[in-house]
């Protein structure tokens, strides 16, 4: 009986060790890759004017979730999986923005009318309408620009242009 108990204990310990290694591997795989250090700004001669820092650095845009990729996803009318992903992304972006506005309103004292200016009035507006409007707006912008624009920025710009509470 004593050998059986130690055999079981060894197997359980081995299983826990394997599970720990598997979890560590998954955690490592989900960790973002380290970014390289930003390159120093080029030296300018006294004859040339320095460019603003914002003009030198492009914002990091996840290419899998750019405005272009969201527009492509939302245009796939015959693909129910793509439509589900599109609607989920649109709802998530809008809900996140609205919660951010609510958080801001609760934590600060904004100037009069500021909360109304940044809020979205979406009562009785179906998500399908928001998607159609976003796709129409995205069609008016060059694909290169859409690839460099975060999906959240493009979608919220489209929604705010039509559904602002002003």
Predicted local confidence at residue 58, as pLDDT: 57
Closest listed residue to residue 162, CA positions, set 102, 121, 126 = 121
Most confident of 23-32, 44-53, 120-129: 120-129
pLDDT band at 23 (very low <50, low <70, confident <90, very high): very low
Predicted local confidence at residue 38, as pLDDT: 45
Average pLDDT over residues 83-88: 96
pLDDT exceeds cutoff 60 at 150: yes
Q: What is the C-alpha separation between 21 and 16, in angstroms, rounded?
A: 9
CA angle 164, 69, 64 (to 5 degrees): 115
Predicted local confidence at residue 61, as pLDDT: 63
pLDDT exceeds cutoff 70 at 25: no
Please tell me which residue, 22 or 48, carries the higher pLDDT value: 48
Using CB atoms within 10 Å of the CB of residue 101, give its burial: 0 to 12 exposed, 13 to 18 middle, 19+ buried.
Answer: middle
């Amino acid at each position: 009986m004593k050998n059986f108990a130690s055999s079981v204990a060894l197997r359980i310990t081995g299983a826990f060790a394997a599970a720990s290694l598997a979890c560590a591997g998954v955690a490592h795989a989900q960790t973002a890759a380290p970014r390289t250090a930003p390159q120093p700004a080029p030296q300018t001669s006294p004859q040339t004017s320095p460019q603003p820092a914002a003009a030198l650095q492009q914002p990091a845009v996840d290419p899998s979730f750019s405005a272009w990729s969201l527009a492509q996803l939302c245009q796939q009318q015959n693909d129910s999986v793509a439509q589900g992903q599109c609607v989920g992304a649109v709802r998530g972006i809008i809900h996140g923005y609205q919660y951010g506005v609510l958080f801001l309103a609760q934590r600060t004292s904004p100037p009069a009318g500021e909360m109304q200016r940044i809020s979205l009035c979406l009562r009785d507006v179906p998500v399908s309408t928001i998607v159609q409007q976003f796709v129409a707006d995205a069609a008016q912008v060059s694909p290169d620009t859409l690839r460099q624009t975060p999906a959240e920025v493009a979608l919220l710009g489209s929604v705010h242009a039509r559904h602002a509470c002003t």
